[in-house]
């Protein structure tokens, strides 16, 4: 299951949970009866009953009978045809997914019905006050808290987005089914809706047929914001504010945001060649575009709501200033091709009447290839060109009008909002078409040599005989021409019927938009009075829309020179009029309105700013060294990577103090190096307004950090010189990521070395408010040395980093690169934060949420609200009442000994046993995981087949599929056994009871052991592993049993998960479907390895992988 058990609710009503599981199961049965027939459904039910009976026998201790039933089930599965196995896998996979939906729904329902929710803001604020914290201290701590949740695209989300949405729809229907006022007919309709959703799910392909791109992954992250976080954030902040008001007498300030969001989607290029500088730029701009799109919707809703006239004097003055400005600009140049809005005094019909009623004489002369039959046809061609520029499609085919269409397309591709004049010229210079000019514009025809012509990207339309001149409002002229060629997109035809169709299409596309806009925005003379809030918010909307249009042009790499006063650059600019409206409502006695939708919008702007989620950039340290190698070699300075650390630091420090760029603009470098330089250039152009941190993976030295600082400084100098002004936004924070055990042990020394360098320390104080950020990685350290050793090394590294920063008076924020599964550092959020070293969480925290956990924790607004609240309360408690350190030095020594034995046992098996790699490849579906298409990045950093270069996700994922979950427990049993045999068992029991870190480490291991299944793991070995390697599997199973024995000895539990009865019950409820899925997977793997080109077999295997992931509620 997902590791959110303790974060959602402590209890679950199993009666109602079982009822919903039965409802969904019976509906799926009904659907399958229609889809696959009753004969096959009898087989499905027989397999389920056999599995259920075997589980019951095993739980009762009747092992022999359980084994007989399991053998019967395995025999029946092995006799199935491929089509039957495929269908059975799909059926059980959907059963498990539906059970997961019901489980999540009932956790939420239990949480909503609990009068006192533990770990809520109300609960923790009360605890702190009872423990002696003053109300003022509590208030200040909450207001100063800085938590950032960073969403990543790590490939662990196995469900297609289409199916995720369908699952969300079922969850909403279950929620609706809980309503006590639901009538008989309503309930019948709800059942029909559920049947439709389940039918739709069954008829949908579960498998991704192609890998997502990096931009696709970023869009998925933005969808989480739109579908869930956008609604959850205001609700969460209201909870915090209400609890503060209750316990301290003061509400949370409107613009105070204890939690913000970041993203790696589109910025994480470590080992992923698909994330390029251009992709990063596109994702950053796309994120800004979506932010403005969401703000425009909210402002529109606010304008409906705030219809009152009573306001403060300052808001009234602002509204009158806006009206006066609009009135004075009525006759100024506007984009005549757009529907008119309230700022325009002339109606569309009036503008249209000013056009000539017929074409000038000689319009049909062959010297010009542009043809039109009448003014209306001219306008329709113009409209067609505009629609093409906006949508990329042609509403109506044009033949005789193709030349004019192409010319006008150039206009709208360059600027869909140009103001000025249009003049069509033939080669003799005489105008043959209507000259359209808005009052107040001057037109001066310029030729191409003037330097202000259209972009060369439009050479398709160039013709020396004919030119189309466009004069923009700022005096810029774009010339375009057209000549038929083989590159013309397509041959088109044109008829009067198509013309009527075009007119109708255009009218219908504009009718609703125009009439609705007129309803919202009556012209000035029609206003019965001044609605000041609507005037101000209308102005806000206009500015938002202009900013959004500018982003569209940037995304298309088109010219977009606009007056900076016409669009929003910072969140503070957007907040200013909103806060003025809020203060006006409060001062006018309408506080109840101010604290509604308007307050929610202000809180959203304060949280999401202009980008929704700031994008982190991540690259491996070796790539920066390669870049500096190229630069120093070009400058005849030697090869950077061959220098020792001191020489590197001397060089980097000297260059950082200088004011000139290091990289010559004419330098020619390899493609990989150019990509690194281009990334820094994008970062310089967009700055810290769009980007968060630059994370250096595999960091091991101080020079790794200074190298990035130098490349960043150089790029900013170059871009600033080109722009003729300073770069927008500030420099990015540079964050070293310590991942391997070796690097974790040296993390404190690296930070001390950095802070001892005068330039760097002054840079941190001046540009980053005296704040150093350090990231620690959980995945690779766990794969290196095992989960237990990794946990202890991470604990010590954090202690050392905090001490190093304290020595220099620098504040520190620790960034936790936690995975979703426990094998990669995952676990319940509250437990994880509460087990950190004392002093490591001082009101600040960054943490990743990866892959499947993003959807699990934030996919629904209700779960998102709870997760955000848990983050807030856990960080607050860890700050004001830090967890206890080890009571005595002896405990630390015991941890060292356990870690040493555990690490030795783990590495001797994984890295030193020559048979282990082959065993791993035979006993798990690791090699087949690549066909899942669940991520844009490769499964390996390098082409080597060894475990060292295998990413942590497929490493954990593969063992989770076989229910062996080896990466979590391997070595732990040996470590605990070694210490207990030396007479320290009582010390370990005391450590478990009194030391939060040790307790959480053991509890997480126990949780995973409760999900492991020795008989299932043994089945994989017996069927798939070569006889010569089966003894290795037997040894590992004995090690698993040893681990279970000593974990129970330390915790004092009689059986696994004794302290988490809910988890044990939920796992048991899934086994009748999960066990047959594993048996199916073994059978399909056996067949596939004999016929590896069989696409149908491969699909069946991928279905079993999906189903087991749903049953385990974990992937990697």
What is the DSSP secondary structure assignment for residue 431, as one 8-state letter? B
Residue 154 known to be catalytic: yes
CB-based contact 631:662 (threshold 8 Å): yes
Q: Which of 94, 154, 401, 407 is catalytic?
A: 154
Instruction: Determine the straight-line distance between the first and last CA of the chain, rounded to whole angstroms.
Output: 12
Dist. CA 293–CA 11, nearest whole Å: 40
| H or E element, residue 845 | strand 844-850
Q: Are 945 and 1072 in contact (CB under 8 A)?
A: no
Residue 491: Cβ within 10 Å count: 8
Distance of CA 725 to the CA centre of its chain: 33
Residue 180 burial by Cβ neighbours in a 10 Å radius (0-12, 13-18, 19+):
exposed
What DSSP element (H or E) covers 1003? helix 996-1009
Q: How is residue 667 written in tokens? A: 């330098």
Angle (CA) 706 708 709, round 5°: 60
Alpha carbons 95 and 1042: distance in angstroms, whole number? 34
φ and ψ at residue 981, rounded to 5 degrees: -70, -15
Coil vs helix vs strand at 648: helix
The answer to whether the beta carbons of residues 860 and 972 sit under 8 Å apart is no
Number of Cβ within 10 Å of residue 817's Cβ equals 27
DSSP symbol at 668: -
DSSP 3-state of 960: helix
Question: Alpha-carbon distance 1107 to 946, whole Å?
Answer: 28
Residue 589 region, left (φ>0) first, then alpha (ψ -120 to 50), else beta? left
Residue 477 φ then ψ, to 5°: -115, 135
Q: Which residues contact 460 (CB under 8 A, 6 or more apart)?
A: 406, 485, 487
Tell how many helices (H) and how many strands (E) occur in the chain: 44, 12
Cα separation, 813 vs 452, whole angstroms: 49
Catalytic residue among 110, 783, 857, 1011: 783
Q: Under DSSP, is residue 850 helix (H, G, I), strand (E, B) or coil?
A: strand
Report which DSSP code applies to 667: -
Instruction: Using alpha carbons, select from 443, 412, 362 the residue that is nearest to residue 370.
Output: 362
Calculate the CA 79 to chain-centre distance: 44
Residues near 212 by beta carbon (within 8 Å), at least 6 away in sequence: 220, 933, 934, 935, 936
* Residue 949 annotated as catalytic: no
* Measured CA distances, 646 to 640, 642, 651, 658, 757 (Å): 12, 12, 9, 19, 12
What is the C-alpha to C-alpha distance for residues 378 and 383, in angstroms, rounded to an integer? 9
Report how far residue 970's alpha carbon sits from residue 993's, in angstroms, rounded to the nearest whole number.
23
CB half-sphere exposure, 755, CA atoms < 13 A = 24
Half-sphere exposure of 970 (CA within 13 A, CB side): 25
Residue with tokens 């702190």: 128
Q: How far is CA 169 from CA 9, 351, 1116, in A?
A: 22, 48, 26
- Of 19, 603, 713, 736, nearest to 298 by C-alpha is 603
CB proximity list for 102: less than 8 A, separation 6 or greater: 17, 20, 21, 24, 174
Catalytic residue numbers, as ranges: 154, 783
């Amino acid at each position: 299951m997902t590791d959110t058990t303790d974060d959602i609710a402590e209890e679950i009503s199993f009666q109602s949970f079982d009822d919903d599981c039965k409802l969904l199961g019976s509906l799926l049965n009904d659907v399958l009866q229609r889809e696959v027939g009753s004969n096959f459904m009898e087989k499905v039910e027989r397999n389920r009953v056999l599995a259920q009976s075997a589980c019951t026998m095993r739980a009762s201790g009747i092992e022999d009978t359980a084994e007989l039933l399991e053998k019967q089930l395995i025999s029946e599965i092995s006799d199935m045809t491929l089509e039957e196995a495929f269908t059975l896998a799909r059926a059980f996979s959907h059963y498990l997914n539906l059970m997961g939906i019901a489980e999540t729904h009932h956790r939420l329902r239990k949480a909503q019905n609990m009068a006192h929710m533990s770990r809520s803001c109300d609960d923790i604020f009360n605890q702190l006050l009872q423990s002696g914290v003053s109300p003022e201290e509590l208030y200040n701590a909450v207001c100063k808290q800085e938590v950032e949740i960073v969403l990543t695209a790590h490939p662990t989300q196995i469900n297609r987005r289409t199916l995720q949405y369908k699952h969300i729809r079922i969850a909403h229907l279950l929620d609706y089914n809980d309503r006590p006022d639901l009538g008989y007919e309503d309930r019948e309709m709800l059942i029909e809706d559920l049947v439709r959703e389940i039918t739709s799910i069954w008829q949908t392909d579960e498998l991704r047929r192609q890998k997502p791109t990096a931009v696709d992954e970023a869009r998925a992250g933005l969808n989480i914001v739109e579908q869930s976080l956008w609604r959850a954030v205001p609700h969460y902040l209201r909870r915090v504010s209400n609890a503060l008001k209750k316990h301290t007498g003061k509400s949370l300030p409107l613009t105070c945001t204890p939690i913000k969001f970041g993203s790696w989607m589109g910025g994480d290029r470590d080992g992923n060649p698909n994330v390029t500088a251009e992709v990063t730029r596109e994702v950053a701009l796309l994120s800004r575009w979506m932010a403005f799109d969401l703000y425009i919707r909210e402002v529109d809703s606010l304008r409906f709501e705030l219809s009152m006239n009573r306001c403060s004097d300052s808001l009234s003055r602002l509204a009158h200033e806006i009206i006066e400005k609009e009135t004075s600009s009525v006759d100024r140049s506007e984009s005549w091709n757009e529907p008119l809005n309230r700022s325009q005094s002339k109606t569309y019909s009036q503008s249209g009447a000013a056009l000539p009623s017929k074409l000038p004489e000689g319009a049909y002369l062959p010297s010009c290839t542009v043809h039109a039959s009448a003014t209306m046809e001219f306008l329709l061609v113009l409209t067609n060109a505009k629609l093409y520029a906006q949508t990329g499609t042609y509403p109506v085919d044009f033949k005789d009008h193709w030349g004019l269409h192409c010319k006008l397309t150039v206009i709208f591709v360059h600027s869909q909002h140009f103001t000025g004049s249009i003049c069509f010229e033939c080669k003799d210079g005489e105008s043959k078409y209507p000259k359209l000019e808005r009052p107040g514009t001057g037109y001066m025809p310029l030729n191409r040599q003037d330097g202000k012509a259209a972009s060369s990207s439009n050479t398709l339309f160039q013709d020396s005989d004919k030119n189309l001149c466009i004069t923009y409002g700022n005096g810029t002229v774009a010339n375009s021409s057209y000549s038929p060629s083989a590159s013309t997109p397509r041959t088109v035809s044109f008829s009067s019927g198509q013309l009527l169709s075009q007119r109708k299409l255009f009218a219908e596309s504009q009718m609703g938009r125009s009439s609705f806009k007129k309803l919202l925005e009556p012209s000035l003379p029609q206003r019965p009075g001044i609605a000041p809030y609507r005037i101000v918010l209308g102005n806000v909307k206009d500015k938002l829309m202009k900013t959004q249009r500018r982003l569209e042009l940037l995304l298309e790499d088109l010219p977009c020179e606009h007056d900076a006063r016409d669009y929003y650059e910072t969140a503070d600019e957007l907040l200013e009029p909103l806060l003025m409206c809020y203060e006006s409502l409060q001062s006018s006695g309408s506080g109840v309105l101010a604290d509604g939708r308007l307050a929610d919008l202000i809180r959203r702007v304060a949280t999401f700013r202009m980008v929704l989620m700031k994008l982190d950039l991540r690259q491996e340290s070796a790539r920066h060294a390669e870049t500096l190698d190229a630069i120093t070699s070009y400058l005849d300075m030697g090869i950077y990577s061959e220098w020792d650390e001191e020489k590197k630091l001397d060089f980097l420090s000297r260059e950082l103090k200088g004011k000139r760029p290091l990289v010559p603009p004419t330098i020619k470098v390899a493609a990989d190096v150019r990509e690194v330089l281009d990334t820094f250039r994008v970062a310089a152009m967009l700055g810290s307004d769009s980007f968060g941190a630059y994370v250096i993976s595999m960091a091991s030295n101080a020079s790794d950090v200074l190298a990035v600082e130098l490349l960043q400084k150089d790029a900013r100098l170059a871009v600033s010189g080109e722009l003729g002004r300073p770069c927008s936004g500030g420099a990015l924070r540079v964050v070293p990521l310590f991942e391997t055990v070796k690097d974790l042990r040296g993390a404190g020394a690296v930070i001390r070395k950095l802070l001892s360098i005068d330039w760097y320390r002054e840079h941190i104080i001046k540009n980053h408010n005296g704040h150093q950020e350090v990231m620690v990685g959980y995945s690779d350290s766990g794969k290196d040395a095992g989960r237990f050793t990794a946990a202890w090394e991470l604990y010590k590294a954090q202690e050392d980093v905090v001490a190093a920063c304290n020595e220099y008076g620098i504040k520190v924020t620790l960034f936790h690169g936690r995975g979703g599964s426990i094998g990669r550092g995952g676990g319940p959020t509250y437990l994880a934060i509460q087990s950190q070293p004392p002093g490591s969480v001082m009101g600040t925290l960054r943490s990743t949420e990866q892959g499947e956990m993003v959807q699990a924790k934030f996919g629904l607004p209700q779960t998102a609200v709870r997760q955000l609240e848990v983050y807030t309360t856990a960080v607050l408690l860890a700050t004001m009442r830090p967890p206890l350190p080890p009571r005595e030095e002896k405990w630390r020594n015991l941890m060292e000994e356990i870690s040493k034995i555990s690490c030795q046992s783990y590495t001797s098996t994984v890295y030193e046993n020559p048979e282990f790699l082959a065993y791993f490849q035979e006993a798990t579906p690791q090699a087949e995981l690549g066909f899942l298409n669940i991520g844009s990045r490769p499964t390996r950093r390098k082409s080597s087949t060894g475990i060292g270069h295998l990413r942590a996700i497929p490493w954990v994922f593969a063992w989770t599929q076989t229910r062996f979950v080896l990466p979590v427990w391997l070595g732990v049993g040996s470590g605990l056994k070694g210490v207990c045999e030396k007479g320290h068992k009582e010390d370990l029991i005391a450590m478990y009871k009194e030391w939060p870190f040790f307790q959480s480490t053991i509890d997480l291991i126990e949780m995973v052991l409760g999900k492991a299944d020795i008989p299932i793991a043994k089945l994989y070995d017996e069927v798939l592993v070569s006889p010569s390697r089966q003894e290795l599997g037997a040894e590992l199973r004995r090690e698993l049993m040893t681990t279970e024995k000593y974990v129970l000895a330390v915790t004092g539990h009689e059986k696994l998960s004794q302290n988490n009865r809910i988890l044990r019950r939920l796992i048991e409820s899934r086994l009748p479907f999960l066990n047959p899925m594993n048996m199916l997977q073994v059978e399909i793997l056996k067949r596939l390895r004999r016929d590896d080109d069989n696409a149908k077999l491969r699909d069946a295997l991928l279905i079993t992988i999906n189903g087991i992931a749903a049953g385990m509620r974990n992937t990697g």
